[in-house]
A = this chain, B = another copy of it.
Protein backbone atom coordinates (compact mmCIF):
# COMPACT_ATOMS: atom_id res chain seq x y z
CA UNK A 1 0.00 0.00 0.00
CA UNK A 2 1.32 3.47 -0.86
CA UNK A 3 2.34 5.74 2.01
CA UNK A 4 1.37 9.34 2.36
CA UNK A 5 4.60 10.65 0.90
CA UNK A 6 3.81 8.82 -2.33
CA UNK A 7 0.62 10.69 -2.94
CA UNK A 8 1.39 14.32 -2.14
CA UNK A 9 2.28 15.25 -5.71
CA UNK A 10 -1.13 14.29 -6.93
CA UNK A 11 -2.83 15.58 -3.83
CA UNK A 12 -1.31 18.97 -4.55
CA UNK A 13 -3.21 19.10 -7.82
CA UNK A 14 -6.56 19.31 -6.07
CA UNK A 15 -8.25 22.62 -6.60
CA UNK A 16 -11.90 23.20 -5.78
CA UNK A 17 -13.93 26.12 -7.02
CA UNK A 18 -16.23 27.75 -4.47
CA UNK A 19 -19.65 29.04 -5.45
CA UNK A 20 -20.18 32.66 -4.48
CA UNK A 21 -23.74 31.85 -3.43
CA UNK A 22 -22.62 29.43 -0.75
CA UNK A 23 -21.76 32.47 1.36
CA UNK A 24 -25.22 33.95 1.03
CA UNK A 25 -28.36 32.71 2.71
CA UNK A 26 -30.18 29.68 1.41
CA UNK A 27 -32.87 27.42 2.72
CA UNK A 28 -35.96 25.51 1.80
CA UNK A 29 -39.38 26.52 0.53
CA UNK A 30 -40.41 26.62 4.21
CA UNK A 31 -37.85 29.08 5.51
CA UNK A 32 -34.53 30.76 4.78
CA UNK A 33 -32.66 31.53 7.98
CA UNK A 34 -30.42 34.57 7.93
CA UNK A 35 -27.16 34.69 9.86
CA UNK A 36 -25.00 37.48 11.19
CA UNK A 37 -22.10 38.36 8.93
CA UNK A 38 -23.69 37.21 5.71
CA UNK A 39 -22.29 39.11 2.70
CA UNK A 40 -24.37 41.81 1.10
CA UNK A 41 -22.27 42.13 -2.05
CA UNK A 42 -20.28 39.98 -4.41
CA UNK A 43 -17.16 41.65 -3.06
CA UNK A 44 -17.95 40.41 0.42
CA UNK A 45 -18.61 36.94 -0.96
CA UNK A 46 -15.20 37.00 -2.60
CA UNK A 47 -13.62 38.03 0.68
CA UNK A 48 -15.16 35.03 2.42
CA UNK A 49 -14.08 32.71 -0.36
CA UNK A 50 -10.57 34.11 -0.19
CA UNK A 51 -10.52 33.35 3.53
CA UNK A 52 -11.38 29.71 2.80
CA UNK A 53 -8.54 29.56 0.30
CA UNK A 54 -6.10 31.29 2.62
CA UNK A 55 -6.67 28.67 5.29
CA UNK A 56 -6.88 25.57 3.11
CA UNK A 57 -4.92 26.30 -0.05
CA UNK A 58 -7.60 24.36 -1.84
CA UNK A 59 -9.95 26.93 -3.26
CA UNK A 60 -8.23 29.43 -5.54
CA UNK A 61 -11.22 30.22 -7.74
CA UNK A 62 -14.76 31.46 -7.20
CA UNK A 63 -17.77 30.77 -9.39
CA UNK A 64 -20.22 33.56 -10.09
CA UNK A 65 -23.95 33.38 -10.65
CA UNK A 66 -25.58 35.79 -13.06
CA UNK A 67 -27.62 37.84 -12.23
CA UNK A 68 -26.99 37.32 -8.49
CA UNK A 69 -23.41 38.56 -8.89
CA UNK A 70 -23.95 41.15 -11.56
CA UNK A 71 -21.70 44.21 -11.32
CA UNK A 72 -21.06 47.23 -13.49
CA UNK A 73 -17.37 46.61 -13.93
CA UNK A 74 -16.25 43.00 -14.27
CA UNK A 75 -12.66 43.96 -14.95
CA UNK A 76 -12.61 45.71 -11.60
CA UNK A 77 -14.18 42.71 -9.94
CA UNK A 78 -11.54 40.49 -11.49
CA UNK A 79 -8.77 42.70 -10.14
CA UNK A 80 -10.44 42.83 -6.76
CA UNK A 81 -10.57 39.04 -6.61
CA UNK A 82 -6.93 38.76 -7.57
CA UNK A 83 -5.98 41.20 -4.85
CA UNK A 84 -7.78 38.90 -2.42
CA UNK A 85 -5.79 35.96 -3.75
CA UNK A 86 -8.44 34.26 -5.82
CA UNK A 87 -9.58 34.32 -9.44
CA UNK A 88 -13.02 34.32 -10.98
CA UNK A 89 -14.15 30.97 -12.31
CA UNK A 90 -17.22 29.44 -13.83
CA UNK A 91 -20.11 31.65 -14.84
CA UNK A 92 -23.46 30.12 -13.89
CA UNK A 93 -26.49 31.27 -15.82
CA UNK A 94 -29.93 31.65 -14.28
CA UNK A 95 -33.15 31.24 -16.21
CA UNK A 96 -35.39 30.17 -13.37
CA UNK A 97 -36.30 33.31 -11.51
CA UNK A 98 -37.88 35.53 -14.07
CA UNK A 99 -41.66 35.30 -14.38
CA UNK A 100 -41.43 34.68 -18.09
CA UNK A 101 -39.60 31.41 -17.47
CA UNK A 102 -42.51 29.89 -15.59
CA UNK A 103 -42.97 27.31 -18.34
CA UNK A 104 -39.40 26.94 -19.48
CA UNK A 105 -36.43 28.87 -20.85
CA UNK A 106 -34.16 27.24 -23.45
CA UNK A 107 -36.98 24.77 -24.11
CA UNK A 108 -39.86 27.24 -24.11
CA UNK A 109 -42.49 26.83 -26.79
CA UNK A 110 -42.58 30.61 -27.31
CA UNK A 111 -39.66 31.73 -29.42
CA UNK A 112 -39.57 35.14 -27.79
CA UNK A 113 -39.04 33.66 -24.36
CA UNK A 114 -36.53 31.21 -25.69
CA UNK A 115 -34.62 34.00 -27.38
CA UNK A 116 -34.49 35.90 -24.12
CA UNK A 117 -33.02 32.84 -22.42
CA UNK A 118 -30.48 32.42 -25.21
CA UNK A 119 -29.57 36.09 -24.96
CA UNK A 120 -29.01 35.73 -21.24
CA UNK A 121 -26.42 33.07 -22.00
CA UNK A 122 -24.77 35.25 -24.61
CA UNK A 123 -24.51 37.93 -21.96
CA UNK A 124 -22.90 35.37 -19.67
CA UNK A 125 -20.36 34.60 -22.40
CA UNK A 126 -19.57 38.28 -22.67
CA UNK A 127 -19.03 38.40 -18.93
CA UNK A 128 -16.75 35.37 -19.20
CA UNK A 129 -14.57 37.34 -21.54
CA UNK A 130 -14.26 40.09 -18.94
CA UNK A 131 -13.77 37.84 -15.93
CA UNK A 132 -11.43 35.42 -17.67
CA UNK A 133 -13.76 32.53 -16.94
CA UNK A 134 -13.34 29.31 -18.85
CA UNK A 135 -16.67 27.62 -18.24
CA UNK A 136 -20.27 28.54 -18.86
CA UNK A 137 -22.34 26.28 -16.70
CA UNK A 138 -25.96 25.73 -17.62
CA UNK A 139 -28.41 24.25 -15.19
CA UNK A 140 -32.01 24.51 -16.26
CA UNK A 141 -35.10 24.44 -14.10
CA UNK A 142 -37.04 23.60 -17.25
CA UNK A 143 -39.62 20.88 -16.99
CA UNK A 144 -43.28 20.32 -16.26
CA UNK A 145 -45.40 19.38 -13.26
CA UNK A 146 -48.24 17.53 -14.96
CA UNK A 147 -48.51 14.95 -17.74
CA UNK A 148 -49.50 16.77 -20.89
CA UNK A 149 -48.40 20.18 -19.66
CA UNK A 150 -45.60 20.25 -22.19
CA UNK A 151 -44.47 18.32 -25.21
CA UNK A 152 -41.44 16.38 -23.98
CA UNK A 153 -40.09 15.72 -27.43
CA UNK A 154 -40.55 19.22 -28.78
CA UNK A 155 -38.87 20.69 -25.73
CA UNK A 156 -35.84 18.47 -26.30
CA UNK A 157 -35.57 19.58 -29.89
CA UNK A 158 -35.78 23.22 -28.91
CA UNK A 159 -33.18 22.68 -26.22
CA UNK A 160 -30.80 21.32 -28.82
CA UNK A 161 -31.37 24.35 -31.01
CA UNK A 162 -30.91 26.82 -28.14
CA UNK A 163 -27.73 25.16 -26.96
CA UNK A 164 -26.27 25.19 -30.45
CA UNK A 165 -26.87 28.94 -30.70
CA UNK A 166 -25.13 29.49 -27.39
CA UNK A 167 -22.28 27.11 -28.17
CA UNK A 168 -21.61 28.95 -31.40
CA UNK A 169 -20.73 32.11 -29.49
CA UNK A 170 -18.12 30.54 -27.22
CA UNK A 171 -14.52 31.60 -27.68
CA UNK A 172 -12.04 28.88 -28.57
CA UNK A 173 -10.80 28.53 -25.02
CA UNK A 174 -14.24 28.52 -23.46
CA UNK A 175 -16.45 25.55 -22.65
CA UNK A 176 -20.13 24.90 -22.11
CA UNK A 177 -20.96 22.44 -19.32
CA UNK A 178 -24.51 21.15 -19.12
CA UNK A 179 -25.74 20.00 -15.74
CA UNK A 180 -28.44 17.37 -15.34
CA UNK A 181 -30.81 16.92 -12.43
CA UNK A 182 -33.29 14.18 -11.61
CA UNK A 183 -36.08 16.51 -10.46
CA UNK A 184 -36.89 19.81 -8.73
CA UNK A 185 -38.23 22.37 -9.26
CA UNK A 186 -40.15 20.47 -11.92
CA UNK A 187 -42.05 17.53 -10.50
CA UNK A 188 -43.27 15.53 -13.47
CA UNK A 189 -40.59 15.75 -16.11
CA UNK A 190 -37.29 17.59 -16.25
CA UNK A 191 -35.75 18.47 -19.58
CA UNK A 192 -32.22 17.40 -18.64
CA UNK A 193 -32.88 14.73 -16.04
CA UNK A 194 -29.95 12.36 -16.42
CA UNK A 195 -26.38 12.05 -17.65
CA UNK A 196 -27.56 10.34 -20.81
CA UNK A 197 -29.53 13.38 -21.88
CA UNK A 198 -26.73 15.77 -21.05
CA UNK A 199 -24.27 13.51 -22.87
CA UNK A 200 -26.47 13.27 -25.97
CA UNK A 201 -26.99 17.02 -26.06
CA UNK A 202 -23.35 18.04 -25.55
CA UNK A 203 -22.09 15.41 -27.97
CA UNK A 204 -24.24 17.02 -30.64
CA UNK A 205 -22.61 20.40 -29.90
CA UNK A 206 -18.92 19.64 -30.15
CA UNK A 207 -15.67 19.10 -28.32
CA UNK A 208 -15.97 22.04 -25.98
CA UNK A 209 -19.33 21.00 -24.62
CA UNK A 210 -19.16 18.73 -21.59
CA UNK A 211 -21.34 17.23 -18.89
CA UNK A 212 -21.51 18.64 -15.37
CA UNK A 213 -22.13 15.98 -12.71
CA UNK A 214 -23.78 17.28 -9.54
CA UNK A 215 -23.44 14.55 -6.94
CA UNK A 216 -26.91 15.28 -5.54
CA UNK A 217 -28.83 15.10 -8.80
CA UNK A 218 -29.54 11.40 -9.17
CA UNK A 219 -32.32 8.93 -8.51
CA UNK A 220 -32.17 7.02 -5.22
CA UNK A 221 -29.59 4.26 -5.31
CA UNK A 222 -27.77 5.47 -8.41
CA UNK A 223 -24.16 4.35 -8.58
CA UNK A 224 -22.54 7.72 -9.18
CA UNK A 225 -18.97 6.45 -9.49
CA UNK A 226 -20.10 4.38 -12.44
CA UNK A 227 -21.27 7.54 -14.19
CA UNK A 228 -17.96 9.19 -13.37
CA UNK A 229 -16.09 6.28 -14.90
CA UNK A 230 -18.33 6.23 -17.95
CA UNK A 231 -18.14 9.97 -18.65
CA UNK A 232 -14.37 9.97 -18.26
CA UNK A 233 -14.22 7.04 -20.66
CA UNK A 234 -16.35 8.96 -23.15
CA UNK A 235 -14.22 12.10 -22.69
CA UNK A 236 -17.21 14.14 -21.62
CA UNK A 237 -16.85 14.76 -17.87
CA UNK A 238 -16.38 18.52 -17.69
CA UNK A 239 -17.01 19.31 -14.06
CA UNK A 240 -18.35 18.27 -10.71
CA UNK A 241 -20.77 20.05 -8.47
CA UNK A 242 -19.98 18.51 -5.10
CA UNK A 243 -22.48 18.18 -2.28
CA UNK A 244 -24.14 15.32 -0.46
CA UNK A 245 -27.60 14.03 0.21
CA UNK A 246 -29.65 11.54 2.15
CA UNK A 247 -32.92 12.00 0.23
CA UNK A 248 -33.22 14.34 -2.73
CA UNK A 249 -31.13 17.33 -3.78
CA UNK A 250 -30.39 18.08 -0.14
CA UNK A 251 -27.26 20.12 -0.95
CA UNK A 252 -25.53 19.14 2.28
CA UNK A 253 -21.79 19.41 2.82
CA UNK A 254 -19.93 17.09 0.45
CA UNK A 255 -18.89 13.90 2.20
CA UNK A 256 -21.24 14.47 5.12
CA UNK A 257 -23.89 11.94 4.16
CA UNK A 258 -21.75 9.12 2.81
CA UNK A 259 -17.98 9.64 2.95
CA UNK A 260 -17.38 6.19 1.48
CA UNK A 261 -19.33 7.17 -1.61
CA UNK A 262 -17.20 10.30 -2.00
CA UNK A 263 -14.10 8.13 -1.66
CA UNK A 264 -15.37 5.80 -4.39
CA UNK A 265 -16.19 8.71 -6.69
CA UNK A 266 -12.72 10.14 -6.25
CA UNK A 267 -11.18 6.73 -6.82
CA UNK A 268 -12.88 6.57 -10.23
CA UNK A 269 -11.77 10.14 -10.95
CA UNK A 270 -8.18 9.06 -10.41
CA UNK A 271 -8.68 5.78 -12.27
CA UNK A 272 -10.12 7.58 -15.28
CA UNK A 273 -7.45 10.28 -15.52
CA UNK A 274 -9.54 13.03 -13.98
CA UNK A 275 -6.66 14.08 -11.73
CA UNK A 276 -4.04 13.98 -14.45
CA UNK A 277 -2.18 17.19 -15.25
CA UNK A 278 -4.14 17.84 -18.43
CA UNK A 279 -7.47 16.67 -17.09
CA UNK A 280 -10.53 18.56 -18.29
CA UNK A 281 -12.36 17.89 -15.03
CA UNK A 282 -13.13 20.93 -12.88
CA UNK A 283 -14.11 20.43 -9.24
CA UNK A 284 -16.62 22.74 -7.68
CA UNK A 285 -18.86 22.89 -4.64
CA UNK A 286 -22.57 23.53 -4.89
CA UNK A 287 -24.18 23.40 -1.49
CA UNK A 288 -26.61 25.11 0.83
CA UNK A 289 -25.61 25.85 4.36
CA UNK A 290 -29.19 26.07 5.63
CA UNK A 291 -28.45 25.55 9.32
CA UNK A 292 -24.67 25.50 9.69
CA UNK A 293 -22.19 28.37 9.50
CA UNK A 294 -21.29 29.17 5.95
CA UNK A 295 -17.56 29.87 5.90
CA UNK A 296 -16.64 26.94 8.13
CA UNK A 297 -19.13 24.93 6.11
CA UNK A 298 -17.11 25.63 2.99
CA UNK A 299 -13.84 24.90 4.79
CA UNK A 300 -15.20 21.59 6.03
CA UNK A 301 -16.33 20.77 2.49
CA UNK A 302 -13.02 21.28 0.74
CA UNK A 303 -11.26 19.41 3.54
CA UNK A 304 -13.64 16.49 3.13
CA UNK A 305 -12.81 16.27 -0.55
CA UNK A 306 -9.12 16.45 0.25
CA UNK A 307 -9.33 13.79 2.94
CA UNK A 308 -11.24 11.38 0.74
CA UNK A 309 -8.95 12.06 -2.20
CA UNK A 310 -5.96 11.23 0.00
CA UNK A 311 -7.56 7.95 1.01
CA UNK A 312 -8.45 7.16 -2.58
CA UNK A 313 -4.86 7.83 -3.64
CA UNK A 314 -3.72 5.31 -1.02
CA UNK A 315 -5.42 2.40 -2.77
CA UNK A 316 -2.81 -0.17 -3.69
CA UNK A 317 -3.64 -0.25 -7.37
CA UNK A 318 -1.32 -3.06 -8.35
CA UNK A 319 -2.51 -5.34 -5.57
CA UNK A 320 -6.08 -4.45 -6.39
CA UNK A 321 -5.63 -5.33 -10.01
CA UNK A 322 -4.13 -8.69 -9.03
CA UNK A 323 -7.01 -9.47 -6.71
CA UNK A 324 -9.53 -8.48 -9.37
CA UNK A 325 -7.92 -10.70 -11.94
CA UNK A 326 -7.84 -13.56 -9.45
CA UNK A 327 -11.55 -13.23 -8.72
CA UNK A 328 -10.68 -12.64 -5.07
CA UNK A 329 -13.78 -10.68 -4.10
CA UNK A 330 -13.01 -10.23 -0.43
CA UNK A 331 -9.34 -9.56 -1.10
CA UNK A 332 -10.08 -6.86 -3.68
CA UNK A 333 -12.70 -5.27 -1.50
CA UNK A 334 -10.31 -5.42 1.45
CA UNK A 335 -7.65 -3.49 -0.45
CA UNK A 336 -10.11 -0.72 -1.16
CA UNK A 337 -11.36 -0.70 2.42
CA UNK A 338 -7.83 -0.60 3.79
CA UNK A 339 -7.30 2.69 2.02
CA UNK A 340 -10.67 4.02 3.08
CA UNK A 341 -10.09 3.09 6.71
CA UNK A 342 -6.68 4.71 6.87
CA UNK A 343 -6.74 7.84 8.99
CA UNK A 344 -4.98 10.51 6.95
CA UNK A 345 -5.77 13.44 9.16
CA UNK A 346 -2.46 13.73 10.96
CA UNK A 347 -0.49 13.36 7.75
CA UNK A 348 -2.61 15.97 6.08
CA UNK A 349 -2.15 18.37 8.98
CA UNK A 350 1.61 18.02 8.83
CA UNK A 351 1.60 18.39 5.07
CA UNK A 352 -0.49 21.54 5.29
CA UNK A 353 1.93 23.03 7.77
CA UNK A 354 4.83 22.16 5.53
CA UNK A 355 3.17 24.26 2.86
CA UNK A 356 2.59 27.23 5.14
CA UNK A 357 -1.07 26.47 5.71
CA UNK A 358 -3.01 25.98 8.92
CA UNK A 359 -2.68 22.43 10.25
CA UNK A 360 -6.32 22.56 11.26
CA UNK A 361 -8.13 25.03 9.05
CA UNK A 362 -11.41 24.69 10.99
CA UNK A 363 -9.71 25.68 14.22
CA UNK A 364 -7.66 28.35 12.50
CA UNK A 365 -10.84 29.94 11.22
CA UNK A 366 -12.46 29.82 14.64
CA UNK A 367 -9.40 31.49 16.13
CA UNK A 368 -8.93 33.99 13.35
CA UNK A 369 -11.48 36.48 14.57
CA UNK A 370 -12.77 36.79 11.03
CA UNK A 371 -16.30 35.73 11.88
CA UNK A 372 -16.56 38.25 14.71
CA UNK A 373 -15.26 40.95 12.46
CA UNK A 374 -17.74 40.38 9.64
CA UNK A 375 -20.62 40.12 12.08
CA UNK A 376 -19.75 43.59 13.31
CA UNK A 377 -18.96 45.09 9.94
CA UNK A 378 -21.75 43.64 7.87
CA UNK A 379 -24.71 45.35 9.45
CA UNK A 380 -27.45 46.88 7.37
CA UNK A 381 -27.98 46.38 3.69
CA UNK A 382 -29.57 43.31 2.27
CA UNK A 383 -28.00 39.95 2.92
CA UNK A 384 -27.22 38.01 -0.21
CA UNK A 385 -29.38 35.03 -1.03
CA UNK A 386 -30.94 33.30 -3.97
CA UNK A 387 -33.34 36.10 -4.64
CA UNK A 388 -36.18 33.56 -4.68
Instruction: List the interface of chain A (C-beta within 8 A of B).
Output: 26-34, 96-97, 99, 102-103, 109-110, 141, 144-153, 156-157, 182-185, 187-190, 193-197, 199-200, 218-223, 225-227, 229-230, 232-234, 245-248, 250, 252-253, 256-261, 264, 268, 271-272, 290-293, 296-297, 300, 307, 315, 320-321, 323-325, 327, 329-330, 332-337, 340-343, 345, 362, 386, 388
Contact = CB atoms under 8 A, between A and B. Distances in A.
A109 B325 CA distance: 6
Given A188-B223, A324-B150, A230 B196 contact: yes
Nearest to A148: B336
A329 B30 contact: no
11 contacts: A29-B185, A30-B386, A33-B99, A103-B327, A146-B292, A146-B332, A151-B271, A183-B247, A219-B221, A259-B260, A293-B329
Q: Chain A interface secondary structure, helix, strand, loop or mixed? A: loop
B256 A146 contact: yes
Given A268-B152, A388-B32, A330 B292 contact: yes
Contacts of A256: 146-147, 333
A146 B252 contact: yes
A28 B151 CA distance: 22
Contact of A197 (B219, B230, B324): B230
B246 A247 contact: no
A385 to B, nearest CB: 10
Given A151-B324, A332-B148, A388 B220 contact: no
Contacts of A148: 315, 320, 323-324, 332-337
A183 B193 CA distance: 19
Given A99-B33, A329-B292, A386-B30, A183 B233 contact: no
Contact of A141 (B30, B219, B327, B343): B30
Contact of A220 (B30, B33, B220, B290): B220
Contacts of A325: 109-110
Contacts of A329: 145-146, 149, 291-293
B223 A221 contact: no
Contacts of A335: 148
A226 B196 contact: no
A189 B226 contact: yes
Given A196-B199, A230-B200, A248-B184, A102 B30 contact: no
Contacts of A307: 341
B291 A102 contact: yes
Given A152-B225, A324-B150, A252 B145 contact: yes
A218 B221 CA distance: 10
Contacts of A218: 219
Given A29-B388, A259-B340, 9 more contacts: A29-B185, A30-B184, A33-B102, A146-B332, A147-B337, A149-B332, A153-B271, A184-B247, A296-B330
Contact of A153 (B199, B229, B341): B229
A219 B221 CA distance: 7
Contact of A233 (B99, B144, B153, B297): B153
Nearest to A191: B226
Given A96-B31, A102-B327, A147-B264, A193 B297 contact: no
A193 B252 CA distance: 19
B188 A153 contact: no
